[in-house]
């Protein structure tokens, strides 16, 4: 797919967004949808703002991510309106005049002051679904986030349009550039902080634009699932490197994790290779009709088999899953939906009218319990970790004898392994957006 196709894909995407809005409004008995992009948030007792996070309901319509104070207003049957704030401000860079392939599909009104938006929103706010955060309120346009509308839109957002897949491929290409630079920096002996900078430089993004804070972990730091401290001194030599870092494009995220060993002929590298092979088999399970909960439980069995193969546990994979021992080494979910948000919404939604699909007992951190269907994009991110806190509990419990603690101690200095790809479910073979991007790089 080339960027030349994006305008057509976008038009088709917008048709779907409009049609979903039509249905959502009909369900709620409302006349119009109003979506503020959001406003800046300030630090307590300070005039410093946090990085701006656009309302995902807004960027579902337009690829605008740096535009606080703008609004989408949509009435079924009419062309959507974009009220576009371009303030007169010589302190900050203000948004450029709207341009790009998406602009012909909107009636665009440029305003200079946030309050001017009031004149351009639908006449009766009580007949609108207003989707946004409380501080976006403007006059009588106070976000009310009707549950029926949110349930419908969030449920269907799991099914990505071809345009959204294209945006996620572009994000993946950017993320892969960062990952390759990060591996080079690791091999050259850089600190976590230095690797992070190398990543940002190559990806061309930083905390203002990355979809989440980079996790850059050397050695035992890889045992902290969301390690974000970024040490400035590298261990000499480092043993291992886990990087979980994404990128964004057009408001869409990628989420990629890789793990590397310093000694590429050593046993830890062999364990990485085993997790990588298992991860690819899990990616192949991203098929229509597969219950993601089963995929998660199968991941436990596969990872427990690796632990047994490497002499860490003595019990069968089934016993490891049943007893909770596999959760000591794999204490998070196998993945989540991804798209406009790195952890996409509605992971537990039973239907577009509401309801919840429960998590399997004993697996509190699984973020997705839906059955996979074409269009869904999910992460597949199995891991094996040597986490002191969890190992201590295991050592004091009834299954301690099923563990070879000398083998645990041998792997403990490496921290852990996680391999993560973003995978799209189709009505045939899955598309691995991450591996495709690495292959193309």
Which residue, 331 or 413, is less far from ligand GLY as judged by CB?
331
Rounded to the nearest whole angstrom, what is the least distance from the CB of residue 8 to ligand GLY in the complex? 32
Rounded to the nearest whole angstrom, what is the least distance from the CB of residue 168 to ligand GLY in the complex? 14
Rounded to the nearest whole angstrom, what is the least distance from the CB of residue 343 to ligand GLY in the complex? 6
Which residue, 117 or 342, is less far from ligand GLY as judged by CB?
342
Which residue, 151 or 248, is less far from ligand GLY as judged by CB?
248
Residues between 105 and 134 that touch ligand GLY (CB under 6 A): none
Taking CA atoms, 384 is separated from 57, 153, 182, 278, 419, in Å, by 35, 35, 21, 12, 10
Rounded to the nearest whole angstrom, what is the least distance from the CB of residue 212 to ligand GLY in the complex? 5
Which residue, 226 or 281, is less far from ligand GLY as judged by CB?
226
Window 192-231: contact mask with ligand GLY (x via CB under 6 A) = --------------------x-------------------
Which residue, 211 or 251, is less far from ligand GLY as judged by CB?
211
Compute, in degrees rounded to 10, the torsion defined by CA atoms 324, 342, 13, 35. 120
Helices 147-156, 6-28: crossing angle, 10 deg rounding: 150
Q: In what order do the strands lie in the sheet with 71-74?
A: 107-111, 81-85, 71-74, 32-36, 128-130
Which residue, 101 or 212, is less far from ligand GLY as judged by CB?
212
Taking CA atoms, 306 is separated from 294, 320, 384, in Å, by 19, 11, 9
User: What is the rounded CA–CA span in Å between residue 3 and residue 97?
Assistant: 21
Which residue, 34 or 195, is less far from ligand GLY as judged by CB?
195
- DSSP secondary-structure letter at 115? G
Q: Which residues contact 325 (CB under 8 A, 6 or more apart)?
A: 304, 313, 315, 319, 394, 399, 402, 403
Rounded to the nearest whole angstrom, what is the least distance from the CB of residue 106 to ligand GLY in the complex? 33
Rounded to the nearest whole angstrom, what is the least distance from the CB of residue 255 to ligand GLY in the complex? 5
Which residue, 14 or 299, is less far from ligand GLY as judged by CB?
299
- Based on the number of CB atoms within 10 Å of its own CB, is 48 exposed (0-12), middle (13-18) or buried (19 or more)? exposed
Q: Is 52 in the site for ligand GLY (CB under 6 A)?
A: no
Structure tokens at 121: 């929103």
Q: Are 419 and 256 in contact (CB under 8 A)?
A: no
Residues between 221 and 280 that touch ligand GLY (CB under 6 A): 244, 255
* Alpha-carbon Rg for the chain in angstroms: 23
User: What is the rounded CA–CA span in Å between residue 262 and residue 183?
Assistant: 10
Rounded to the nearest whole angstrom, what is the least distance from the CB of residue 234 to ligand GLY in the complex? 23
Which residue, 255 or 352, is less far from ligand GLY as judged by CB?
255
Residues between 307 and 366 that touch ligand GLY (CB under 6 A): 342
Backbone angles phi, psi at 262, to 5 degrees: -65, -45
Residue entry with tokens 């869409």: 252
Backbone angles phi, psi at 256, to 5 degrees: -130, 135
Rounded to the nearest whole angstrom, what is the least distance from the CB of residue 126 to ligand GLY in the complex? 38
Rounded to the nearest whole angstrom, what is the least distance from the CB of residue 253 to ligand GLY in the complex? 9
Q: Are 244 and 254 in contact (CB under 8 A)?
A: no
Which residue, 144 or 244, is less far from ligand GLY as judged by CB?
244
User: For 222-314, where are the E strands, in sequence order?
Assistant: 240-249, 252-261
* Binding residues with ligand GLY: total (CB under 6 A): 4
Rounded to the nearest whole angstrom, what is the least distance from the CB of residue 262 to ligand GLY in the complex? 23
- Would you tell me which residues interact with ligand GLY (CB under 6 A)? 212, 244, 255, 342
């Amino acid at each position: 797919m080339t960027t030349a196709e994006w305008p057509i894909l976008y038009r088709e995407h917008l048709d779907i967004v409009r049609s979903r809005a039509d249905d959502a409004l009909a369900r709620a008995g409302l006349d119009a949808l109003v979506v503020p992009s959001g406003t800046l948030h300030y630090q307590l007792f300070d005039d410093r703002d946090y990085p701006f996070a656009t309302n995902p309901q807004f960027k579902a319509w337009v690829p605008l991510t740096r535009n606080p104070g703008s609004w989408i207003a949509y009435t079924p049957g009419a062309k959507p309106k974009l009220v576009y704030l371009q303030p007169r401000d010589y302190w900050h860079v203000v948004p450029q005049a709207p341009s790009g392939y998406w602009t012909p599909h909107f009636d665009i009104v440029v305003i200079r002051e946030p309050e001017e938006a009031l004149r351009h929103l639908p006449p009766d706010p009580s007949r609108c679904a207003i989707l946004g955060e409380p501080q976006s309120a403007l006059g009588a346009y106070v976000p009310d986030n009707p549950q029926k509308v949110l349930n419908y839109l969030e449920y269907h957002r799991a099914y990505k349009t071809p345009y959204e897949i294209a945006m996620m491929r572009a994000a993946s290409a950017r993320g892969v550039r960062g990952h390759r630079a990060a591996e080079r920096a690791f091999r050259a002996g850089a600190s976590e902080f230095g690797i992070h900078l190398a990543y940002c430089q190559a990806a061309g993004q930083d905390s203002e634009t990355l979809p989440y804070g980079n996790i850059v972990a050397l050695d035992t730091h890889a045992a902290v699932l969301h390690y974000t401290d970024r040490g400035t001194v590298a261990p000499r030599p480092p043993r291992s490197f886990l990087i979980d870092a994404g990128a964004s494009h057009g408001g869409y995220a990628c989420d990629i994790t890789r793990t590397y060993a310093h000694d590429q002929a050593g046993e830890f590298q062999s364990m990485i290779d085993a997790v990588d092979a298992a991860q690819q088999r899990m990616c192949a399970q991203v098929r229509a009709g597969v219950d993601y909960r089963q995929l998660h439980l199968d991941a436990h069995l596969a990872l427990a088999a690796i632990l047994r193969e490497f002499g860490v546990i003595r019990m069968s994979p089934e016993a490891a899953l049943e007893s909770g021992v596999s959760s000591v080494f794999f204490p998070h979910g196998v993945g989540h939906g991804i798209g406009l948000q790195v952890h996409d919404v509605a992971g537990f939604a039973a239907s577009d009218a509401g309801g919840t699909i429960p998590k399997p007992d004993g697996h509190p951190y699984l973020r997705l319990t839906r059955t996979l269907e074409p269009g869904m994009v999910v992460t597949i991110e199995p891991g094996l970790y040597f986490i002191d806190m969890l190992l201590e509990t295991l050592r004091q419990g009834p299954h301690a004898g099923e563990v070879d603690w000398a083998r645990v101690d041998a792997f403990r200095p490496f921290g852990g392994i996680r391999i993560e790809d973003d995978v799209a479910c189709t009505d045939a073979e899955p598309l691995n957006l991450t591996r495709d991007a690495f292959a193309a790089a």
